[in-house]
Structure 1
Amino acid sequence: MNVPNLRSPYAQTSGISYFPRMLDKIRLHAAGKLPQDYQANLGGGFDGRAISFLWIDYPALVERVKQGGSDDEIFAWAVAQGRQPSPEEIEIWNEFMRKRGWNDESSARLVIRKRDGGLENRDDVQTFFDYIDADEGRPVEKRG
């Protein structure tokens, strides 16, 4: 499903994948523009992993996003509330997230999501990030 103003999970703020998408979902939800299908996982799933990685509280992040500001300003707030990951931790985070669903314990769930989303014949969709992009109508690019 194409959702205007919802970025790819590959998008980054301060080098951290997925963070901009989480902010987009919060903004869209606050504006009443986030489709119902996306609302069940607010603060959970990949959102939950992101807030855990930064050691922040999701409801506090929601309140900060509602106050406005750029992604970079909100990220600065987040690391002030939680922690600033090291470059190595960011690399590990990004690699883990971009490969989620590829040859790991969530691979079976990805197969089910692909089937349910009509993407079972898409060999280019190998991870959950790829699935999200394909499901939302973005091209799935070959990534190294």
Structure 2
Amino acid sequence: MLKIVGFLIIAGILGATGQYAKAAGLETGLPSMLAQVRPAVVSIRAVVSEITTGDALDDPNIRKALGIPQDVLIVQSGVVVTGSGVIVDRENGYIVTNSHLIANADDISITLADGKGYQADRVGAMRRPISQLSRLKCQICRL
């Protein structure tokens, strides 16, 4: 019985808060919040060329089984990686994303929430080494 009363009190408080927010002209809830931030989120596509390494390739027995000589490196080119970023300066075209996404990128393109696509350039990592974020600059300003 006590749990039910507690639940009803909490429901009443939350209901009153929601009614106050509506009366004040504020929309509440996840859908309205997502509708507001969605235009700032971009899709990022990077074409990467990288040298493949790993424990398996360091093992001479695996290299022998695969027929890969010891002194040969495996280079993957044209690998497409995807991720997301956030527009942080719409006027100047700056976007922030994870460093690992664009670290070895040869070509970077972004797609806005409205479906428009643009080329972007890596303009550097953030100054804080622990952030693991990088900045992109879109060729077309005023995203």
TM-score (norm. length: structure 2): 0.21
Which has the larger strand fraction? 2
User: TM-score normalised to the size of structure 1?
Assistant: 0.21
Structure with bigger helix share is 1
**Radius of gyration: which is bigger?**
2
